[in-house]
């Protein structure tokens, strides 16, 4: 025979149960601050790490760019200190500039040094010799000296134009392009003469190849 429990018999069992109050749980979770620091760190850490790596890459590129500027200035400064430069002197100037640049892969460096004069007012500038270094790394186009201000190039004083280009590979963080071309141009006046004669001063083209600052070879090609 099955006996059914009456409502009076169920009351003690019901009183023993704990009912879940969703409002109370929500309030408790709202006031619970444990683990907040870990959550904040998980959100902020990737941003901070990304900023740090980006700044490291930018700082590295700025440092190399400054060396490019300094090296270009050194090459131009040395080229303007003598009325004439040729043969071993040319190799020494190139070697000194590359030493200042101080990069691992010299084959990614190209340099162009050219001396100009202005025969007379209103005439076109003339080249007094040109030096190219590692032209295969990025040959410079012919420099247009006709657009120079008369204070820089005139019939009384020539100018030496030095250009340098370096194919810089950033540190491998992938913030920048895989390769960046850093370039600089300096125009300096001759120190001891009206114009600098490169080789024989008749517009000769001297091609130089450099694999390191200690290994520079030059030859007249035209």
Lowest mean pLDDT among 22-31, 77-86, 197-206: 22-31
- Say if 97 falls within a structural domain: yes
Instruction: Write the pLDDT tens digit of every residue in 1-16.
Output: 445 555 555 555 555 5
Among candidate residues 98, 163, 108, the one with its CA nearest the CA of residue 130: 163
Tell me whether residue 4 is in a domain: no
* Residue 192 in domain: yes
Compute the mean pLDDT over every residue in the chain, rounded to the nearest whole number.
Answer: 86
52 or 177, higher pLDDT: 52
In a domain, 83, yes or no: yes
Gap between the Cα atoms of 14 and 16, Å rounded: 5
**How far apart are alpha carbons 38 and 129 in whole angstroms?**
67
On whether residue 66 sits in a domain, the answer given is: yes
- Checking if the pLDDT of 160 tops 70, the result is yes
Residue 124 sits in which domain range?
37-220
Structural domain count of the chain:
1
Task: Kindly state whether residue 59 falls inside one of the protein's structural domains.
Answer: yes
With respect to residue 13, please indicate whether it lies within any of the assigned structural domains. no
Q: What is the pLDDT of residue 179?
A: 81
Q: Does residue 55 have a pLDDT over 90?
A: no
- Residue at 29 is within a domain: no
Mean local confidence (pLDDT), 67-73: 97
Say yes or no to pLDDT of 85 above 50: yes
Residue 87 has pLDDT above 80, yes or no: yes
């Amino acid at each position: 025979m099955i006996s059914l429990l009456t409502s009076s018999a169920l009351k003690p069992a019901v009183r023993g149960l704990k009912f879940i109050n969703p409002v109370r749980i929500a309030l408790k979770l709202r006031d619970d601050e444990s683990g907040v620091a870990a959550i904040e760190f998980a959100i902020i850490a990737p941003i901070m790490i990304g900023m740090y790596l980006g700044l490291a890459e930018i700082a590295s590129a700025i440092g190399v760019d400054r060396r490019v500027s300094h090296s270009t200035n050194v090459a131009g400064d040395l080229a303007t200190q003598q009325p004439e430069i040729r043969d071993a002197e040319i190799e020494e100037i190139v070697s000194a500039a590359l030493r200042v640049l101080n990069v691992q892969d010299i084959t990614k460096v190209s340099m162009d040094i050219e001396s100009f004069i202005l025969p007379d007012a209103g005439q076109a500038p003339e080249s007094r010799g040109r030096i190219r270094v590692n032209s295969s790394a990025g040959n410079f186009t012919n420099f247009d000296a006709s657009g120079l201000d008369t204070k820089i190039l005139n019939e009384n004083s020539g100018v030496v134009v030095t250009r340098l280009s370096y194919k810089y590979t950033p540190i491998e963080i992938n913030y920048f392009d895989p390769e960046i071309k850093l370039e600089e141009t300096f125009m300096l006046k001759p120190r001891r003469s009206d114009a600098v004669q490169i080789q024989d001063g008749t517009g000769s083209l001297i091609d130089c190849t450099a694999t390191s600052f200690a290994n520079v070879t030059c030859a007249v090609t035209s």
